[in-house]
């Protein structure tokens, strides 16, 4: 899983491990990777930690090569690497726009294409891409993020169509706000936490465990007839 050192990625990695999966955590954050690897080692999980830049094709190809060399197969790919910058579009530089699109959208494309090639050869696989409520809602100050996450959703649908006959399920999940490094600065500013909680019909933010359950479902045979979907994990935020 990419973004395996991140706030959601690490919980998903541990959740998959609890269900008996061997887990490959891939991230550009070396320190975070070591922390998560220790946690998974303590759980007795078979774990491989790989440094990876999802925007760099060579890096993704090297990671795919290592996975195949070590395991000879790849059952599940979770694309959770992502960044955001909250700024009005007039203040967002072209470089910032490119960086967000590169990591969130192009990174998902590269990982799906390169890791998915292995799944096509196996004629089997599960891919779960991290979208967001921003895949379907136009929040102010999220221009590049929403463009990238909307792109992730439609890219997911296209791959689901292209690989349906290859026995590969390609789905996305769409979390609402969950407190991680991605959202912490914003949520810690006066009143923002409460404002977000009020905007969610269930009256609270999500927790990483809410996302874990969704990923486990989409990784398991329980979702074998589900493809091209986005499973919103948002307390009803996008229900109306």
Residues serving a catalytic function are 145
CA 216/CA 166 separation, integer angstroms: 21
**In angstroms, what is the minimal distance from the CB of 212 to ligand NAD?**
12
Across 170-192, b (16+ Cβ under 10 Å) vs e yields: bbbbbbbbbbbebbeeebeeeee
The verdict on 81 binding ligand NAD (CB under 6 A) reads yes
The verdict on 109 binding ligand NAD (CB under 6 A) reads no
> Contacting ligand NAD (CB under 6 A), which of 40, 83, 105, 196?
83
Across 113-128, b (16+ Cβ under 10 Å) vs e yields: ebbbebbeeeeebbbb
x/- track of binding to ligand NAD for residues 15-34 (CB under 6 A): ------------xxx--x--
The verdict on 177 binding ligand NAD (CB under 6 A) reads yes
Q: What angle do CA 232, 5, 70 make, to 5 degrees?
A: 105
The verdict on 210 binding ligand NAD (CB under 6 A) reads no
The verdict on 238 binding ligand NAD (CB under 6 A) reads no
Among the listed ranges 39-47, 75-83, 117-125, 194-202, the one in contact with ligand NAD (CB under 6 A) is: 75-83
> Contacting ligand NAD (CB under 6 A), which of 36, 77, 80, 146?
80
Residue number with the shortest CB distance to ligand NAD?
6
Q: Can you give the length of the chain in residues?
A: 240
- The separation between CA 49 and the C-alpha centre of its own chain, rounded to angstroms, equals 17
CA 68/CA 183 separation, integer angstroms: 34
The verdict on 53 binding ligand NAD (CB under 6 A) reads yes
**In angstroms, what is the minimal distance from the CB of 225 to ligand NAD?**
25
x/- track of binding to ligand NAD for residues 114-153 (CB under 6 A): ----------------x-x---------------------
CA 184/CA 129 separation, integer angstroms: 22
Among the listed ranges 13-21, 48-56, 109-117, 195-203, the one in contact with ligand NAD (CB under 6 A) is: 48-56
Among the listed ranges 42-50, 66-74, 177-185, 194-202, the one in contact with ligand NAD (CB under 6 A) is: 177-185
Bridge partners (DSSP) of residue 231 are: 173
> Contacting ligand NAD (CB under 6 A), which of 1, 8, 50, 196?
8
The residue ranges that bind ligand NAD (CB under 6 A) are 2-3, 5-9, 27-29, 32, 52-55, 80-83, 103, 107, 130, 132, 175, 177-178, 180-183
């Amino acid at each position: 899983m990419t973004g395996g050192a991140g706030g959601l990625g690490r919980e998903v990695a541990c959740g998959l491990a609890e269900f008996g999966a061997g887990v490959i955590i891939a991230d550009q954050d070396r320190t975070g990777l070591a922390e998560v690897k220790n946690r998974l080692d303590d759980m007795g999980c078979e774990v491989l930690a790989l440094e990876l830049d999802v925007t760099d094709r060579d890096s993704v190809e090297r990671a795919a090569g290592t996975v195949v060399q070590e395991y000879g197969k790849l059952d599940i790919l979770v694309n959770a690497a992502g960044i955001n910058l909250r700024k009005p579009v007039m203040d967002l530089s072209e470089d910032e726009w490119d960086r967000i699109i590169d990591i969130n959208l192009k990174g998902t494309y590269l990982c799906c294409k390169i890791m998915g090639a292995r799944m096509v050869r196996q004629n089997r696989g599960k891919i779960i891409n991290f979208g967001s409520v921003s895949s379907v809602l136009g929040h102010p100050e999220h221009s590049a993020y929403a463009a990238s996450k909307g792109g992730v959703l439609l890219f997911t649908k296209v791959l689901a169509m292209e690989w349906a006959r290859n026995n590969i399920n390609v789905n996305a999940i769409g979390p609402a706000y969950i407190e991680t490094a991605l959202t912490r600065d914003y949520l810690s500013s006066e009143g923002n936490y409460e404002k977000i909680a009020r905007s969610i019909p269930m009256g609270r933010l999500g927790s990483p465990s809410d996302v874990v359950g969704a990923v486990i479902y989409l990784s398991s045979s329980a979702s074998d007839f589900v493809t091209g979907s986005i499973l919103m994990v948002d307390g009803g935020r996008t229900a109306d």
